[in-house]
Amino acid sequence: MSCGVLDEEEFSRCCQLLLHHSDSVGDGWSWEAVQSSDEGYLKKTVLRSVPADQSITQKHKESGSDSEQFDYCRFKTEEQGVNGSADSLRPDVEDEDDCVCRAPGGSSCSSVLQFEYHVLYSCSYRTPVLYFRASTLGRSLTLEDVWNSVHPNYRLGLQSRPLDAITQQEHPFLGQAFFFLHPCRTEEFMKPLLQMTWDQNRPVNYVLSWLSVVGPMVGLDVSLDYVTLQQPTV
Amino acid sequence: TWGGFYVVGAYKMSDSAESPTETQKEEIHPPPDDSATNDDKKKIDVLLKAVGDTPIMKTKKWAVDKGRTVQSLAQFISRFLKLDATEQLFIYVNQSFAPSPDQEVGVLFDCFGSDGKLVLHYCKSQAWG
């Protein structure tokens, strides 16, 4: 590994080590092979209770004329204009029948969501990439649910340029709509870390280090006991 | 491609944090020469090390409440270094692993502390996007 990136072979090696540890502690990661080849990706499914954020709903209602339209939103695959100032999505009128119904006054309760996380390798960026999607057991999903899973520590950075951060993307292998955390920043934040550990002759598991950073950004927790992971032999 | 997230108001990372010169004085302070005032039961010693071209903190050793979270510590360091809102600070244990922002430093100390202190590396980066 060098300069903040890694090749696909090393990606696979790092993933296998991660899987080995996951198996030993029952953390739930699995490897999805692609066409019986060495190529594949990591996958994990998590159930999470996500409270709908009432303050966000009410704040938005006060902010302007767009707000009344925005009691709900949908995952969409077609192009959608983004309001430059408020970054609000316009509701999809055709889907009105399927939209989330919020009780008057913006009251909300928590719901159980199923989050699915996939770690793929990006050949163009030469880094891992995190894909994720969420589905609900019982009610239609809102964008706010996914947004609420983003740790507050990272919301500001992600909010400032949402189009560059979390966007909807077609899963390269499944062809289904997922969200993904754009890999454009990965090399930049991995590079100093890798340089330091390289200088000190302490190679790290790239995928693990990367995942520990980006996971919390999208609600995925990576347990501390992964630190005991053996490093891949170079 | 799909348009993206909507943004509500201006969420400030430092909303919940006080200025370093006020209440934080009680919680984080350089260990005094007379170390007897450091309550072993409540605080742990943290040694902060910069990664890459992240500015080095003038004071590297801090006594931190065990219950303090990684996120809180990251905010403290960000303010101390006067990072702007477009910059993100990452904290690592064992030089390789970013603990969850909600993780308590006391737990990190129990897992990774040695010689009576917890070494944490910190690194700044451009916020996503």
CATH of the domain at B60: 3.10.20.90
Chain B contact present for A69, CB below 8 A: no
Cite the DSSP H helix spans in B1-129.
24-27, 70-80, 105-112
pLDDT value, residue A114 = 83
Average pLDDT for A49-61: 46
A residues 143..162 contacting B (CB < 8 A): 143, 147, 151-162
Q: What is the pLDDT of residues B2-43, one digit of tens each?
A: 333 433 333 334 334 433 433 343 445 555 554 444 455 699
Q: Where are the beta strands (DSSP E) in chain B?
A: 43-50, 61-65, 87-93, 117-126
Q: Clarify whether A15 is annotated catalytic.
A: no
Residue type, A134: A
Q: Would B96 be classed as within a structural domain?
A: yes
CA distances from A208 to A13, A178, A181, B119 (A): 11, 22, 16, 19
The model carries a pTM of 0.71
With beta carbons under 8 A apart, name residues in chain B contacting A181.
Answer: 128
Residue B72 lies in a domain: yes
Nearest to A208 among B51, B93, B97 (CB): B97
At A147, is the pLDDT very low, low, confident or very high (cuts 50, 70, 90)? low
Q: Is residue B54 part of a domain?
A: yes
Kind of pairing between the strands at B43-50 and B117-126: parallel
* Across B50-62, average pLDDT: 94
Residues of B in contact with A224 (CB under 8 A): 93, 97, 99, 103, 107-108, 111
pLDDT band, residue B63 (cuts 50/70/90): very high
Residue A35: pLDDT band (50, 70, 90) is confident
Number of domains forming the structure of chain B: 1
Whether residue B16 lies inside any domain: the answer is: no
For residue B90, which residues of chain A lie inside 8 Å, CB to CB? 189, 213
Q: Give the domain extent around B62.
A: 41-123
Q: Is B71 part of any domain?
A: yes
Determine the distance in angstroms separating the CA of A37 from the nearest CA of chain B, rounded to an integer: 30
Q: CB contact, 8 Å: A221 with chain B?
A: yes
Rounded distance between C-alpha atoms, residue A219 and residue A9, angstroms: 28
Min CA distance, B23 vs chain A (Å)?
Answer: 21
Decide if A169 touches B, using CB distance below 8 A: yes
Instruction: Tell me if B20 is assigned to some domain.
Output: no
Does residue B92 belong to the interface with chain A, where contact is any CB pair within 8 Å? yes
B12 touches chain A (CB under 8 A): yes
Both tokens of residue A91?
């509701």
How does pLDDT run across B78-106, given as a tens digit for each residue?
A: 999 999 878 889 999 999 999 999 999 99
Amino acid at site A46: V
Nearest to B13 among A156, A185, A213 (CB): A156
Pick from B1, B6, B109 the residue to mutate for testing the A interface (most A CBs within 10 Å): B6
For residues B87 and B125, the answer to whether their CB atoms sit within 8 Å is yes
Chain B positions touching A89 (Cβ under 8 A) are 3-4, 6
Is there a domain that residue B68 lies in? yes
Q: Looking at the domain assignment, is residue B55 inside a domain? A: yes
Asked whether residue A134 carries a pLDDT value surpassing 90, the answer given is: no
Contact between chains at A158 and B85 (C-beta distance less than 8 A): no
Tens-digit pLDDT profile for residues A71-114: 222 232 223 333 333 333 333 333 333 334 444 444 456 667 78
pLDDT at B18: 38
